[in-house]
Amino acid sequence: MSYPQSATDTVVKSKKAVNKNKKKIKSEKVIPYLFILPSFLIILGFLFYPIATVFYYSVQHYDVSAPYYNGFAGLENFVNIFTQDKMFVPSLINSVKWVVAEVGLQLTFGMILALLLNQTFKFRGFVRAVAFIPWAISGVLASVMWSMMFNEHMGVINDMLMKVGLIDEPMAFLASTSTAFGAVVIAELWRGIPFFAITLLAALQSIPNELYEAANVDGANRWKSFIYVTLPQLKNTIVLTTLLRVVWEFNNVDLIFNLTGGGPAHSTTTLTMYIADLAVHGSNFGYGSALTVISFGILLIFAVLYLKLSRYEKE
């Protein structure tokens, strides 16, 4: 049975159209991946490759100052950390103290600042800009500023405390084991408050006014409105920002390094500072990588448990 020429041409054209549509659909599926390919390669090169390198060196003896001992170590670095390293536990305790103090105080004062900046008042835009300036200052610059303010001979903090009668003579805040940790906490607190203020202020502005109006109708005062309306609405923001800040503060090096260098008498040596000292100054990259892997594991376990207990994933 034969078809007319016109019918054959129609069938051929329809097949060509179908094939063309298939190729178009395939190209449309591939094009988005081509657009994200450069970003993926950058992330692969600058994030995943360094992480893999750290895990590789953690099971190696890799000491630049003693290359003749370099080679595969297996789990020896990790065994030495938990059995022979006398600085591991104290530095980890300092890290926990540092994170708890910083995140807790930054969240508290950041919440207060966000509530104040959420009010309507004159020059509110200018005040908001000034309040966020510390967040824009680099860690090195902040370290220089606070080291001068804490200075025993010309520091403004000593001068103010002496004028109000709290101290009788200048104190070397960064050189004393009793005051160094608190001084560094204050310096980082000043720099970290704006982070919580910015994120919490954005969340506060998204809360519907109808909720507060309903609370007022039910007879709730400002405190009850804050407890039963504001905090539940800010829950997701608080969980996420505190988790991010815990990770950042746990890995904080620049300000502590520039202000105290981990001293005096290791009173401000956190786990990250200890790792930096071993890897950078001691050139023991294998042992430092093992400590980094342990640090990564601690943060990973904390993040999973924190999100699980806060029920963040259900939101």
Which residue type occupies 83? T
**How far does the chain reach from its first CA to its final CA, in angstroms?**
66
In the chain, the percentage of residues whose pLDDT exceeds 90 is 31
* Res. 87: pLDDT tops 60: yes
Strand partners for 284: 63
* Res. 29: pLDDT tops 60: yes
Alpha-carbon distances of 204 from 130, 132, 237, rounded to whole Å: 19, 16, 10
**Is residue 91 a contact partner of residue 174, using CB atoms and an 8 Å limit?**
no
Predicted local confidence at residue 28, as pLDDT = 67
Task: Please give the structure tokens belonging to residue 21.
Answer: 């549509």
Predicted local confidence at residue 271, as pLDDT = 92
Please, which pLDDT band fits residue 7 given cuts at 50, 70 and 90? low
pLDDT tens digit sequence for 248-259: 999 988 889 889
